[in-house]
Structure 1
């Protein structure tokens, strides 16, 4: 047996199609997020997504970060940053839903946003926004001064 071999790490990023969507407002971002959230579960359980943009604010891709329970979801900052690095993103917009219908950010929402902001700054990637969605409305951290 040869014990000198180490595992090779392969990371891939593929684009199916070539989106030319430009995000210029929270409303634009929410339109994209709503196309990816499961509308049947919007009021049932929480999901968390990240949208990755290039320097011209064109969409590079979207990734579901987590999907969990009724009142919370686990967000691993490393998974968000890994995908950002993989697609050479210049900007990130986050979104998650509140099945309760309450748009007010929780303390945990604010804390995780701050952690992601610090990680993205370290990597020279801009956290542009974090949106909280319900089935009928949304709020934007950027629009409301939480970033």
Structure 2
């Protein structure tokens, strides 16, 4: 028996939270990110999050993109952009942690940021910043002129 059935794709996004948080600088973004990073693991393993913003730079939502090992994590650009399109984001801010406490951007950090920036430009979503966090401090690509 042969069936010609095409699977239905269902995507969902709901605004159950407070979309009134305004991001005006890297400090505001880091404050939101710190609420979602596991404080007990920020010095243990890497995680990568994306913050999605509307045109007024108010938070639409946050999504954990990956969580992995001690010195790296896998980041799929398509997953970042998929969520951005789903919530009609106008801007995104990236963040990941360095368990070592070293806030210097690695060549891999620069490479993935460049890939995400290229994809976001194609989709007309602004990449506003990429922050690297440690348990005590952070680095902002935008503030440091890296972005």
The bucket for the TM-score relative to the shorter chain is: over 0.9
Is 2:32 the counterpart of 1:5?
A: no
Deviates more, 1:89-98 or 1:3-12: 3-12
Deviation per CA, 1:57-105: give whole Å up to 9, x if none: 0000000000000000000000000000000000000000000000000
RMSD after superposition: 0.8
Structure 2: distance between partners of 1:6 and 1:80: 26
1:1-147 → structure 2 map (5 Å cutoff): 1=1, 3-147=3-147
- Any stretches of 5+ residues in structure 1 without a counterpart? none
Q: Quote the Cα distance in structure 2 between the aligned partners of 1:64 and 1:72.
A: 15
Mind listing any 5+ residue stretches in structure 2 that lack a counterpart? none
CA apart distance, 1:15: 2.1
User: Taking structure 2 as the reference length, what is the TM-score of the superposition?
Assistant: 0.98
Q: Which runs of 4+ in 1 moved over 4 A?
A: none
- How much has 1:22 moved relative to structure 2? 0.4
